[in-house]
Amino acid sequence: MKNSKIIVLTTIFMLFLSSMIFSTIAINEKTLIQSIVEGKDFTNITPYPISLSEGLEIYPFFITYSNDIVWLLSGLYQTNWSDLERGVYLSDSLPYVTGFMGGYDADTLKVVSGAYFFNPYLTEEEFLRQKDTSFDRNSDRYRSKTGYSEPSKALFIHRVELILFEKLRLSLNELKLVGGKYPDLADANPFGIFHNTLGEGYSNSMLGVDFSLIPVKGWQLYGQLAVDDFLVPETESGAEDYKPTALAWGVGTRFVKKYNNLYISPKFEYYKIYTWMYNQWLPYLKYTAKYNSHEIPIGFDYGNDMKGFLVGLDIFDNKVKYKFIIERYLKGEIDLETPYDDDRKKEKENWSGPYGNTIPFFSISFSFEIEI
């Protein structure tokens, strides 16, 4: 994104095992798109059981267990918690996750939790920064050689999801990054929705809200909001050089038409990612994950300090799935490598971004998947 214009054309060939293997698990948005044709809302979480049956099932890279209303899944898999192509708090930007997820499903009410564990490797400089947990690098804990440097980084997410009249889906989500210590039962507690997180330097919480409305069969309106920090005057978060307001949101609409066994779904989405979103002064508590030494945002694929739109087209039948995407964004000067104590952070009027001299970012991508 350093050039004034970037055109990316990608073709991805993905071969999956027989669709019969995954007959009880939704592994991508196909099930959601099919439900839109029927005028019914299905969860935007994947993987997710399409139907619950008693017992243990073994898949290529994960295992599941379910009974009438409770299900569990463990292993290595790609996950997505968004209707948006580029989710703003937990999306399929990550190539895969390793961990657990599960929940309680009573059709119109779902409670879902996930626990994912990431590569904890830090460079020497990052390790020293992680040990010095205070924002101003003046931590008593660092001088006393106390904690905050355990090689561990994990993400816990808890959701309560409600479906009204089969047409409207609402969910509240709490995301909690835990780093510098090994997670405990309090972190993983699936009933701890919006609970307090204690311990400076150990955790970083985020609020996620999303909705989906299907006014008529074949038409969906959807959106997502992520709140990392929100400045409230006269409180700790009112320190303007400490925790700036950091939000991310996206809204979209899609139409779905079925021709025999072929589904065609054009969509349009708009995004706004605030300047300091996903960033943090402690390496373990930044909303990124490392894959082959490359840091990837856990939310919006392209990071922070940008706004723009996406036009997409999904086409699939029982065997082949095609995806075509055109994107255009304005990218600001701040990225996830910008130090959190950068002087530009004090400019409150620019927190919504994009900040400073913006650069147009243009992308075209095409992919298809074949199920054999």
For residue 115, the domain's CATH number is 2.40.160
Contact 94, 78 (CB under 8 A): yes
Question: Would the pLDDT of 113 be above 70?
Answer: yes
What does the mean pLDDT of the chain come to?
Answer: 85
**338 part of a folded domain:** yes
Residue 301: what pLDDT?
95
pLDDT in tens, 218-240: 999 999 999 998 876 655 544 56
**pLDDT score at 137:** 66
Asked if the model's pLDDT at residue 120 lies above 80, the reply is yes
If one counts the domains in the chain, the total is 1
Residue type at position 327: E
In which domain, by residue range, is 299 found? 13-371
- What pLDDT was estimated at residue 6? 33
Average pLDDT over residues 156-166: 94
**What's the Cα-to-Cα distance from 356 to each of 65, 251, 276, 330, 333, rounded to whole Å?**
51, 25, 13, 11, 6
pLDDT tier at 4 (50, 70, 90 boundaries)? very low
> Does residue 241 sit within a domain?
yes
Q: Taking a C-beta distance cutoff of 8 angstroms, is the pair 319, 342 a contact?
A: no
Task: Using pLDDT thresholds of 50, 70 and 90, give the confidence band for residue 80.
Answer: very high
Spell out the alpha helix ranges (H) of the chain: 30-37, 124-131, 140-143, 185-188
Residue 370: per-residue pLDDT = 85
Instruction: Let me know if residue 134 belongs to a domain.
Output: yes
Does a structural domain hold residue 7?
no
When pLDDT is cut at 50, 70 and 90, the band that residue 144 belongs to is low
- Can you give the pLDDT at residue 193? 54
Predicted confidence band at 128 (pLDDT cuts at 50, 70, 90)?
confident
Residues in CB range of 207: below 8 A, 6 or more apart: 172, 173, 174, 175, 194, 226, 227
Least confident of 41-55, 78-92, 288-302: 41-55
How many Cα atoms are found within 13 Å in the side-chain-facing hemisphere of 172?
5
Tell me which of 165-169, 202-206, 240-244, 306-310 is least confident: 240-244
Q: Is residue 341 part of a domain?
A: yes
What would you report as the CA-atom Rg of the chain, rounded to the nearest whole angstrom? Answer: 21
List, as one string, the DSSP characters of 99-114. EEEEEEE-SSEEEEEE
Q: Is the pLDDT of residue 147 over 70?
A: no
More confident call, 186 vs 271: 271
Predicted pLDDT at 133? 67
Residue 3 lies in a domain: no
Judged by average pLDDT, the poorest of 53-62, 94-103, 210-219, 236-245 is 236-245
> How confident is residue 140, by pLDDT bands cut at 50, 70 and 90?
low
Is 275 among the domain residues? Answer: yes
Give yes or no for a contact between 223 and 210, defined as CB atoms under 8 angstroms apart. yes
Between 143 and 267, the higher pLDDT residue: 267
For the residues 63-85, what does the mean pLDDT come to? Answer: 92
How many C-alpha atoms does 154 have within 13 Å on its Cβ side?
22
Inside any domain, residue 181? yes
| Widest distance between CA atoms in the chain | 69
Of the pLDDT bands very low, low, confident and very high (cuts 50, 70, 90), residue 346 is confident
pLDDT category at 336 given cuts 50, 70, 90 is very high
What confidence tens digit (pLDDT) does each residue in 13-65 have?
A: 333 333 333 448 888 899 999 999 999 999 999 999 887 677 888 888 889 88
pLDDT at position 131 is 78
